[in-house]
Amino acid sequence: MSEILESADLVPARMLNEFTYCPRLAYLEWVQGEWADNPDTLDGAFVHRNADRPDHQPIDTPKTEAAVDEKFHARSVRLESAALGLVAVVDILEVEGNVATPIDYKKGHAPDIPEGAWEPERVQVCAQALLLREAGFTCTEGIIWYSASRRRVRIPFDDVLVARTMELIAGCRDMAQGGKMPLPLVDSPKCPRCSLVGICLPDETNLLLHEAQSPAPTPQKADAPRMLLAPRPESIPLHVVEPGARLGKRNDRLVVELKTEKIGEVRLKDISQVCLYGPVQVSTQVMAELFEREIPVCYFSTGGWFRGIAHGLPHKNIELRIRQHAVAADPARSLALAKQFVAGKIRNCRTLLRRNTEDDADGLLESLAQSAREAERADNIASLLGIEGMAAKRYFAGFAKLLKEERGFRFDGRNRRPPTDPANATLSFLYAMLARELTVAALACGLDPYLGFLHQPRYGRPALALDLAEEFRPLLADSTALSLFNTGELKPDDFVCRAGAVALKPAGKKAVVAAWERRLLSDVTHPIFGYTISYRRVVMVQARLLGRVLAGELPEYPAFKTR
């Protein structure tokens, strides 16, 4: 990625490869700064480990006549030209007199085609040749080394390939300057193995665009999205709830200690987030390592209030944040998003009650359905908040009836800051973890978590994260609380009451965190896309879809509503 960051105005040869392969992939990586590893990219990095080791051997101008017979190689040679608008890092450069030959390493097998290599690979090495010619060398052919086949494939630089390369350089630059991401490929075999498929969402975007253009349902399911696989599914948050604990680093592991005793240890590669509750100390070495690995550190108060988040440099996608601010400044577009958040929340509240209620004698389910329809018709934020408030009051009245009285807990309505009963203390703790989850998702997608559309900006409040959290409150937080109480995982002894405020004890927090993680890892069938993924992945998909709406690619935000 270094060649992209150092020469933003020049087209990197590697991005030219991506643009030839898939223009949308090039836009995501080059313009928006997105990146994600998968087994293929890691395998490719391993293949390049020797070629990427700089020799620090200068490559200047063609050699003099006295050195015509001298032949040498240089690794990881950087070339750039303002005239061509190109920058490249040549894996291996072979120079003999005035003749230079670029050698590019590829991890896969050499394709059995007349050209010897796929077009993106031939264009990439041809771009390197153009830079060498610009520097005064003679360059008539390049070599692609295929690691899996252990073969050198010669690529002649004829006029057709050079013209095609120049055409693609201009197209790549126009794409970047145009500020509009290309549409995804349609049902392409390239997509499933792409490392950015979970960011690009090609099948999901195409389906939503098709539905927006053709509202009538189609009888056949041929265009249903393919299964979306989450990257690094083994990576999960680390929660440290023990007061006075200290987090340190030993080799590639995080170690949790209390005084002089080690109480926990986990590998860094298994961690997606670090969540610290109350007075937990973190060493500078740990913070530096977490920033390097792009692992955020989330801070909570002892009572579970989400205080803030520490992470490395912000996401490179400034383009998305500019558009987010533009939409937030437009009352009509902000209202359109806010209505989807609220209507989705109310419908999911109704779903939770319907699944756990034997009958609807008091008409609560129909009342919530009506509230959802009213939310979709609201003409201003104030009336929308009023509809949401009344629906929440009716919902929590129904939620109270779902708690089993024999477990010793009661719920007389929502209260907070501070919560005055165990049920509200548990809900507040879960809502804080939900806000943290959506804050991390927003940051990972390049969004500003503090600029919302339903929740208005306020100092220290992650308004956008709270917007996105609305549709997930009943599905994740409320359902987890209901399970904790009705199964007896939480008991009255897990709470402490002081000065009228109720809070969870450390053992209670651990039980809530464990139940929360189980819920996020549980699978659900996506109501729109039809495949089965974890709730944690659903949260990220929704944040990505919101980004597509803000960028103008999708006309309407599709709230996540279970059936």
- Give the Cα separation of 10 and 104 in Å (integer): 20
Q: Contact 165/126 with Cβ under 8 angstroms?
A: yes
Between 311 and 185, the more confident residue is 185
CB atoms inside a 10 Å sphere around CB 418: 16
For the chain, percent of residues with pLDDT exceeding 90: 19
User: Can you give 411-459 as a three-state secondary structure string?
Assistant: CCCCCCCCCCCHHHHHHHHHHHHHHHHHHHHHHHCCCCCCCCCCCCCCC
* Arithmetic mean of pLDDT, 166-194: 86
- Give the Cα separation of 246 and 85 in Å (integer): 51
Task: Kindly indicate the confidence band of residue 187, based on its pLDDT and cuts at 50, 70 and 90.
Answer: confident
Lowest mean pLDDT, pick from 15-19, 107-111, 233-237, 558-562: 233-237
Q: Contact 291/255 with Cβ under 8 angstroms?
A: no
User: Which of 182, 471, 162 lies closest to 345 in space, CA to CA?
Assistant: 471
Q: Which domains does the chain have, with CATH numbers?
A: 2-178 (3.90.320.10), 236-310 (3.100.10.20), 318-550 (1.20.120.920)
- Give the Cα separation of 299 and 436 in Å (integer): 9
Question: Looking at the predicted structure, is the pLDDT value of residue 58 above 80?
Answer: no
Q: Are strands 141-146 and 99-106 parallel, antiparallel or unpaired?
A: parallel
The pLDDT tens digits of the residues spanning 515-561 come to: 998 998 888 888 888 888 889 889 999 999 999 999 888 899 999 98
Between 239 and 411, the more confident residue is 239
| Secondary structure (3-state) at 164 | helix
User: Which of 414, 370, 542 lies closest to 469 in space, CA to CA?
Assistant: 542
Question: Looking at the predicted structure, is the pLDDT value of residue 249 above 90?
Answer: no
Question: Looking at the predicted structure, is the pLDDT value of residue 1 above 50?
Answer: no
The DSSP symbol for 52 reads T
Question: Looking at the predicted structure, is the pLDDT value of residue 388 above 60?
Answer: yes
Q: Looking at residue 67, what is its pLDDT?
A: 46
For the chain, percent of residues with pLDDT exceeding 70: 87
Task: Write out the two tokens for 276.
Answer: 């610290």
Question: Looking at the predicted structure, is the pLDDT value of residue 333 above 90?
Answer: yes
The pLDDT tens digits of the residues spanning 254-304 come to: 888 888 788 888 888 888 888 888 888 888 888 888 888 888 888 888 777
The pLDDT tens digits of the residues spanning 83-124 come to: 888 888 888 888 888 888 998 888 888 888 888 888 999 999
* Range from 28-42, 56-70, 111-125, 195-209 that averages highest in pLDDT: 111-125
Question: Looking at the predicted structure, is the pLDDT value of residue 27 above 70?
Answer: yes
Task: Kindly indicate the confidence band of residue 61, based on its pLDDT and cuts at 50, 70 and 90.
Answer: very low
The torsion defined by the Cα of 328, 331, 332 and 338, in degrees rounded to 10, comes to 60
Burial class (CB in 10 A: 0-12, 13-18, 19+), 64: exposed
Of the chain, the end-to-end C-alpha distance in Å amounts to: 43
| Secondary structure (3-state) at 89 | strand
Lowest mean pLDDT, pick from 175-189, 230-244, 344-358: 230-244
Q: Contact 105/47 with Cβ under 8 angstroms?
A: yes
Question: Looking at the predicted structure, is the pLDDT value of residue 345 above 90?
Answer: yes
Cβ neighbors of 207 (< 8 A, separation 6 or more) are 223, 224, 225, 528, 529
User: Which of 425, 446, 445, 562 lies closest to 503 in space, CA to CA?
Assistant: 425
- Residue 502 phi/psi, 5-degree rounding, is -115, 135
Q: Looking at residue 543, what is its pLDDT?
A: 93
Task: Kindly indicate the confidence band of residue 434, based on its pLDDT and cuts at 50, 70 and 90.
Answer: very high
Answer yes or no: pTM beyond 0.85.
no
- Residue 104 phi/psi, 5-degree rounding, is -110, 135
| Average pLDDT score over the chain | 82
Task: Kindly indicate the confidence band of residue 327, based on its pLDDT and cuts at 50, 70 and 90.
Answer: very high
- Give the Cα separation of 457 and 170 in Å (integer): 41
Q: Looking at residue 65, what is its pLDDT?
A: 46
Q: Looking at residue 216, what is its pLDDT?
A: 55
* Arithmetic mean of pLDDT, 114-140: 90
Question: Looking at the predicted structure, is the pLDDT value of residue 52 above 60?
Answer: no
Q: Looking at residue 230, what is its pLDDT?
A: 45
User: Can you give 508-534 as a three-state secondary structure string?
Assistant: HHHHHHHHHHHHHHCEEECCCCCCEEE
User: Which of 395, 394, 381, 396 lies closest to 339 in space, CA to CA?
Assistant: 381
What are the C-alpha distances in Å from 128 to residues 83, 92, 260, 440?
A: 14, 11, 57, 39
CB atoms inside a 10 Å sphere around CB 262: 11
User: Which of 37, 439, 514 lies closest to 269 in space, CA to CA?
Assistant: 37
Question: Looking at the predicted structure, is the pLDDT value of residue 163 above 90?
Answer: yes
DSSP H/E element including 105: strand 99-106
Question: Looking at the predicted structure, is the pLDDT value of residue 66 above 60?
Answer: no
Task: Write out the two tokens for 245.
Answer: 């604990």
